[in-house]
Chains A and B, each alone.
Chain A
Amino acid sequence: MILFDFELERPDTAADAVALLGRLRGDARLLAGGTDLMPNMRAELVKPGVLVSLGAIAPEAPATLPDGSLRVDAFSRLADLERSGVVHARAPMLAESARAVGGNQVREMGTLGGNLCQESRCLYFNQRHDYQFAARCYKLGGERCYPFPTNKRDTCWSVYMSDVAPALVALGADVEILSEAGGRRIPVEELFTGSGLAPLALDGAELIRAAIVPAPAPRTGWAFHKSTVRGGLEFGMAVIAVTLALADDGKTCAGARIAVGAVRERPVRASAAERVLAGAVPEDARLAEAAAAAAKEVNPLPHHGFTKRYLMDNIRVHLRRTLARALERARGARG
């Protein structure tokens, strides 16, 4: 139960929504599927005076743009992405990452944009603070960090746990941002601040309108893995998304994009690991080398009871396997 009063607005268009957000400045929150916002309101981690619901605005169907890229309305439900033939055909990893989220009910409500705009998480943060950890932490505007007591005010190591974001990063996707001033398009990686205090680089009066996934280069394979304890209905201990392209010779790696989520304040690109692969023949040993490099450079934060040491081992093993699956797909992909 949400134990404070708030107003609800249901604008008819996205433009009206951002106009409302601009007018209400700070007191308003966007409500899409509510699967992240509602629990946080119940815990009073956020207490907006007004909710601006996107419920009256029907999402557009995913569509292929003239340049071959795929545009997905950010208001689409995650379950719609799972079920969409176009998404499966053009960006199957996006569909798979959407399917990795929560459970059926969460995916039927949660939207693509909402998933990207989720709050970062920490065991100490994600609960009510009536009698547990009652003094506020830095992220809540207070004076301490419970899990990392030596952290300074500017450092919050809550982790950003979207399953979809690493997939979009690995796919090299952009997002369209809508504000009263109009639209702008940025690489999805620029959506994130890298700070657990406020993980999103969005102005309070902006919303994500769409994600645009470029057409893959020839001979590109992909693979996605979410490490969990029980295989579903949970956030990942680590989320791994990979695309890997082979050169014309069908043997050399032309390039790879590796993103690891749920272990830092933002989805992390494993650039050093990508460099290990680029221009090399991705044999098993090379994949293992890349995976080891990634585990190191990602430098996972201990979170939700998992130690840094174990997360590194888990990422190392599962990234190697994920790369191998992507390589297999690349070999089978159209040239």
Chain B
Amino acid sequence: MSDLNYVGKSWRRKDGPDKVTGKAVYAQDVKLPGTLAGRILRSPHPHARIARIDTSRARALPGVKAVITVDDTKGIRHGFVETPRYPADQEVLARGKVVYVGEEVAAVAAVDQITALKAVELIEVEYEELPAVFDPVEAMKPGAPEVHPSHPKVTDPYANVGGKSETEWGDVERGFAESDYVREDRFESHLRTHGYLEPHVTLAHWEGGKMNVWTSSMGAFVKRAKLARTLDLPYSAVRIHKTYVGGTFGGKIDLYSHEYCAARLSMITGRPVRIVATREEIFSAYRHGQPLAMEIKTGVKKDGTIVAQQIRVINNSGGFRGSGVVVIFLAWGFTMIPYRIPNLRYEGFSVYTNYPVRAPQRGHGAPQIRFAIESQLDRIAEELGIDPITIRLRNARLPGEALPNGDNVHNAGLADCIKVAAEKSGFLEKHGRDRRSPPQGTIRRGIGIGVSAYMGGTLIYPNGSAVIVKMNDDGSAVVLTGAIDIGQGSETVISQIVAEELAIGMDDVKIVSSDTDTTPQDIGAWISGMTYVTGNAARQAAGNARDKLVAVASERLGVPVGDLAVKDKVVYSTRDPSARMTYREVIAASVATRRGDTVIGEGYWRTMRDEPNHPSLATTKGRWTENYAFSAQVAEVEVDIETGEARLVKALTVHDCGFPVNPALVKGQIDGQISMALGHAFMEEVMTKDGYTLNPNWLDYRMPTIHNMAVSEDADVITEQYRVGQPYRTKEVGEGLVSGILAAMANAVYDATGVRLNSTPFTAERILYGLKALEFKAKQPKPKEKVGA
């Protein structure tokens, strides 16, 4: 359709003016009279029994209004995953023992920050230190210090296993036997964090039997559910208010102890309580992403066709389950989507260690596993004498293919993405150039490719989104949506959809969002489904309102509904444009003739109409979504071979994002992910020692600055259309693109230098000593090698 006016166009962000003028209200900006300062007492040990807690001196300090320990809670547990197999496993404050440095032990509310700090220091805790374990492979060994008992259903003889994902299809052994070439590699990823600029902030006020909460989050309804449950309150007694959010990237979903503590302290004191996490706390005690160790064995035919793959993934989930049992499941998923694997055996272990609990982080397993698989695929291609493009095209899934979980990839654009990426980057002309004929000087340039795929809107609580469109009697509209705009632009996108469906202006759409009392339930901004799920709900709601307007106009004008159209807040007859009514007139007529109906549209949406539940984390059975996005990304890097210093010079992202409702926002997502991935590749690492964090600050945890940005080009392989009044399909674009590019950078470093790095990050040191090892090897007399596949 070429007559779209709002969707498919790069409308200015709805939230832009508020943010750039400083009017946007974040949780920290909400001021309530009489607010108390809350502060958390944290464990100084990675693993210790709590023998005694004495809060009496803290309570006696003037200015202290409340002190809580786990004894002041209902003892209701919470967890990122709460299923029969993986029930909630974490209390809001430590009970009996602490399992990581920084674990929350007690909380205070006082008249000011200084008093709160003094109070925390006056709480006496007697610890009996326990042996601790930090490496997941060590933790799995029988006899290792026990963080928690292994999951009762995991039968392997391993310790500290919080969960296991396991699946198999085909005949892997036969697949390897039938392969022409088989190789095994081990890869490791490192500990990174999200780097959201706005810290965790929660303001809670218990007033008149209502818990009012302002908190920096990724989904108000998830927060409400978990907060209400742990507080033992009905959902209706907890209201999460809308605030702007200053970045999340996966790090603000789930319930955090400070949110509970602020609420509980407010219930005890009757006063508002605010807790702001310091950056040091966020780095040293809050949830980071998840390092994975990945063992991959792959068998291929001579032409590069994958025959069999066996993958073993181990994550370091920290002191509780967190999203550890999800990342080992997702790493399987991100394995099976892009390429056909006729025979596969996969096992993933989520392992407890004495580190802080882990969270999702943009990509949630995809960057790690794609880095591993795509790195190995390049090695295989090189062994077989095939180029990186050909081997990927050989295995890429084609449109209409069924996935092993019963999903269908529908209009998958992967093959097109790979082809366009190769053409646009001049990949094959550049690949291998500097290794074949090294240029003068010390700079070597390399090019690499990686592919990835990502699902959108998978079922998880609250599973669906609803939207209400209320027509104002002047023809403008108020949209009630639970969607939370965390910077991705959901309010802009929803406005565009409503404006399109109702044929009203962008400025005629007012969004009321993310308030659990006034807006309908929403999936939240954390499973890459908002534009698809909430967007389709908005489309339905606006369409529902439009249908009502048209129905009233039809009656009044005596024109059949089928002959009516809408434009610029007017309903008119397509046969006789002089037969027309403005929305204002239609709404007045509706009120007059339909017993006061002011025209309210409602809509709702859910991924997969008939699927009962989300897939099984343990067995991987069950469908995910009807929406898979595919991408191929090319990185060009420069490496100084004397120092090992490397940088991403240019990135190309070719993606298949379905229908781009707002191309500028898509571009923003791409550029943001490129910059995040180059930080992942070359700069960022949370350094730790025995469970303590060594660089809990922005200075020593080095995120890229504006000067490190690479040229980021993109192209889309559009495979979906938008038609007014019909469901549309948008695909994920907000997190999958940190993955292929990471693999591409690894492959590009190899292309530039011959150094193959199986661990992230690609530090100057690792590259330099890789080069030195190659030099050393080149000087050794060559042993006779068996040549051939």
Q: Which residues from 289 to 335 on chain A have a C-beta closer than 8 Å to any C-beta of chain B?
A: 304-307, 310, 313-314, 317-318
Q: What residues on A are CB-neighbors of B768 within 8 Å?
A: 310, 313
Task: Say yes or no: B643 contacts A1, CB within 8 Å.
Answer: no
If A230-B683, A230-B705, A317-B643 touch, whether A127 touches B280 (CB-CB below 8 Å) is yes
Q: Does B694 contact A (CB under 8 A)?
A: yes
For the residues of B in contact with A, the DSSP-based class is loop
CB-based contact B700/A304 at 8 Å: yes
Q: Taking the nearest CB of chain B, how far is it from the CB of A2, in angstroms?
A: 9
Contact A126 B683 (CB under 8 A): no
Note all chain B residues with C-beta closer than 8 A to A229: 682-683, 702, 764
* Min CB–CB distance B312 → chain A (angstroms): 29
Instruction: Assess whether B280 is in contact with A128, with CB atoms less than 8 Å apart.
Output: yes
CB distance from A326 to the nearest CB of B (A): 18
For A4, the closest partner residue in chain B by CB is B114
Measured CA separation A146–B693 after assembly (Å): 12
Q: How far is the CA of A43 from the CA of B280 in the complex (A)?
A: 9
Q: Do A231 and B42 have beta carbons less than 8 Å apart?
A: no
**Does A234 reach chain B (CB closer than 8 Å)?**
yes
C-alpha gap A137/B531 in the complex (Å): 52
Question: How long is the Cα–Cα vector from A201 to B222 in the complex, in angstroms?
Answer: 57
Compute how far the CA of A43 lies from the CA of B768 in the bound complex, rounded to whole angstroms.
36
- The residue of chain A having its C-beta at the shortest distance from the C-beta of B699 within the complex is A234
Could you tell me if B101 and A127 are in contact, using CB atoms closer than 8 angstroms? Answer: no
Residue B695 at the chain A interface, CB threshold 8 Å: yes
| Cβ B643 vs Cβ A307 within 8 A | no
Which residues from A are CB-within-8-Å of B101? 131-132
A313: B residues at CB distance < 8 A: 643, 768
Q: How far is the CB of A137 from chain B (nearest CB, A)?
A: 13
- Contact indicator B695/A123 (Cβ below 8 Å): yes
Contact B44 A123 (CB under 8 A): no
Shortest CB-to-CB span from A287 to chain B, Å, is 14
A134 and B695 contact, CB distance less than 8 A = no
Beta-carbon contact of B765 and A307 below 8 Å: yes
Asked if A232 lies at the interface with its beta carbon under 8 angstroms from chain B, I say yes
* Pairwise interchain contact B764-A314, C-beta atoms closer than 8 A: yes
B114 contact set on A, CB distance < 8 A: 3-5
| A233 & B685 in contact (Cβ 8 Å cutoff) | no
How many of chain B's residues touch chain A, expressed as a range? 35 or more
How distant is the Cα of A307 from the Cα of B766 in the complex, in angstroms?
11
- Distance to closest chain A CB from B206 (angstroms): 25
Query: DSSP class of A's interface residues: helix, strand, loop or mixed?
Result: loop
A75 adjacent to chain B (CB < 8 Å) = no
A142 → B minimal CB distance (Å): 14
A132 lies within 8 A of B692 (CB): yes
Residues 224-266 of A, flagged 1 when their CB comes within 8 A of B and 0 if not, give: 0001011111110000000000000000000000000000000
CB of A130 closer than 8 Å to a CB of B: yes
CB atoms of B697 and A126 under 8 A apart = yes
Chain B neighbourhood of A3, CB < 8 A: 113-114, 117
Nearest B residue to A235 via CB reads B699
Q: Which residues of A contact B704 (CB under 8 A)?
A: 230
Give the nearest-CB partner of B98 in chain A. A131
Q: List, in ascending order, chain A residues with CB within 8 A of B338's CB.
A: none
Q: Is the CB of B643 within 8 A of A314?
A: yes
Binary per-residue interface labels of chain B (672-689) against chain A in the complex, 1 for a CB within 8 Å, 0 otherwise: 000000000011010101
Does B219 lie at the interface of the complex (its beta carbon under 8 Å from any beta carbon of A)?
A: no
Which A117-135 residues have C-beta < 8 A from chain B?
Answer: 123-124, 126-128, 130-134
A43 to B700, CA, bound (A): 15
Docked complex Cα distance between A232 and B101 (Å): 31
- Residues of B close to A314: CB separation below 8 A: 643, 764
Q: Are A133 and B692 in contact (CB under 8 A)?
A: yes
- Residues of chain B within 8 A (CB-CB) of A132 are 44, 101-102, 280, 284, 692-693, 696
Find chain A residues with CB under 8 A from B43 CB. Answer: 131
The minimal Cβ–Cβ distance linking B641 to chain A, given in whole angstroms, is: 10
Q: Per-residue CB proximity of B695-728 to A under 8 Å, as 1/0? A: 1110110111101100000000000000000000
Bound complex: CA A43 to CA B278 (Å): 11
On whether the beta carbons of A131 and B42 are closer than 8 Å, the reply is: yes
CB distance A310 to B765 under 8 Å? Answer: yes
Bound-complex Cα distance A234 to B689 (A): 22
Q: For the complex, what is the distance from the CA of A4 to the CA of B708, rounded to whole Å?
A: 38
A234 CA / B702 CA spacing, docked (Å): 8
Question: Which of B280, B687, B708 is in CB contact (< 8 Å) with A305?
Answer: B687
Nearest chain B CB to A12 CB, angstrom units: 31
- Which residues of B188-202 are within 8 A (CB) of A? none
Q: Can you identify 19 A-B contacts, CB atoms within 8 angstroms? A: A3-B113, A3-B117, A126-B699, A126-B700, A127-B284, A131-B42, A131-B102, A131-B284, A132-B696, A146-B689, A229-B682, A229-B683, A230-B683, A230-B702, A234-B702, A305-B694, A307-B765, A310-B765, A314-B643
Could you list which residues of chain B lie within 8 angstroms of chain A, going by C-beta atoms? 42-44, 101-102, 113-114, 117, 120, 278, 280, 284-285, 642-644, 682-683, 685, 687, 689, 692-697, 699-700, 702-705, 707-708, 764-765, 768-769
